[in-house]
Structure 1
Amino acid sequence: MTRDDIRRLIEDLHRLWSGGDLADVPRIYAARFAAHMPKGWGAGAPSRDGHAGIAGAILRLRAAFPDWREEVEDLVIEGDRAAVRYVSTATHTGAPFLGAAASGARIRVDEMSIFRIEAGLVAEQWCLNDDLAFEKQLRAGAAGGV
């Protein structure tokens, strides 16, 4: 893949999370996709591995935050890796999330991921996000601090 191909793939990945069209999962993610998520999520967190894991994660997230959007701020490509800094924004108007009922809280989360590309698809992801800020915004909304 060229650098432009990888750039388009990663931009498509963020559009997938922003739009929720699960039909795009196999076009973007490898069938054996492996997600390496922050350790703070704990051993009981649902898997994001494979097509079913990614689809489930998108469904869970968008059920709680129907207007979830991801905006790429920086994208660096080197070989088969793409490092991305992005901002996710949403309003908690749907299902409970992390034990908090929908409150209308508006959240903004800074995230960084490194993606490994194989055979034109995203094969692995290492993700770090500002979980503390995310949870504080979510809890403040649940407590009526929106």
Structure 2
Amino acid sequence: MTADREAAVRRLIADVWNGTNETTAYELVAPDCPGLGASGPAGVLAWHQERRASFPDLRYKVVDLVVSGDRAAVHWRAAGTQLGQFGPVPPTGAVVSYSGATFLRFDADGLIADVWSVNELFQLLQQLGVEMLPPA
């Protein structure tokens, strides 16, 4: 079972996060998994499609992956070029590289039921030239 879950996480990253085969989300993600503006595969896809609209060549690489029971944790690195709007930041053409961690929970059917991520957003914004100033 651990090998199956590890394979599912690696496939999610290769196909969905890296955008090579988005239909994989419909095979791996449970209908009630929280996402961006919608639940299930569509919500998970929406987040990654939004990020790729800003960074069309964004690619994730697995640094470390641990699976235990119905949980998985992934330490990843991502890199891409900002060619689209990213929040309030207009396209800069800057190449960024940042890392993060994603935690997943699988349901009884072996589908991804929850995804939660943290990443170095501050570092990403600095690479785009955004100045962070404390309140006056």
**TM-score for the superposition, normalised by structure 1:** 0.80
Following superposition, the deviation at residue 139 of structure 1 comes to: 2.7
For the structure 1 residues 49 and 129, does the alpha-carbon distance in structure 2 shift closer, same or farther, using more than 3 Å as the test?
A: farther
Higher relative contact order (CA 8 A, sep 6+): 1
Q: Is the 8 A contact 1:20 1:62 kept in 2?
A: no
Partner of 1:33: helix, strand, or coil? coil
The percentage of counterpart residues that share the same residue type is: 28
* Contact kept? 2:56, 2:81, Cα under 8 Å: yes
Show the 5 A alignment for 1:98-137. Answer: 98-118=87-107, 119-137=109-127
Partner of 1:97: 86
Q: Distance in 2 between matches of 1:88 and 1:47?
A: 23
Quote the Cα distance in structure 2 between the aligned partners of 1:135 and 1:28: 31
* 1:76 maps to 2:66: yes
Q: CA deviation at 1:49?
A: 3.5
Deviation at 1:114, TM superposition (A): 1.1
Q: How far is the alpha carbon of 1:17 from its aligned partner?
A: 0.8
Q: Deviations over 1:82-139 (max 9, x none)?
A: 111001111112x211211111111111110110011121110121111110111123
Q: Is the 8 A contact 2:34 2:44 kept in 1?
A: no
In the alignment, does 2:5 pair up with 1:10? no
Which is further off, 16-25 or 128-137? Answer: 16-25
Structure-1 separation of matches of 2:54 and 2:103 = 25
CA distance in 1, matches of 2:111, 2:56: 26
The gaps in structure 2 that reach 5 residues or longer are 131-136
Structure 1 residue runs of 4+, over 3 Å off?
46-49
Distance 2:4 2:81 in 1: 32
SS of structure 1 residue aligned to 2:32: strand
Output the amino acid matched with 2:127: Q
Aligned pairs for 1:10-29 (under 5 A) are 10-15=9-14, 16-29=16-29
Aligned pair count reads 128
- Structure with the larger strand share: 1
C-alpha displacement at 1:69, in angstroms?
0.6
Q: CA RMSD in A?
A: 1.6
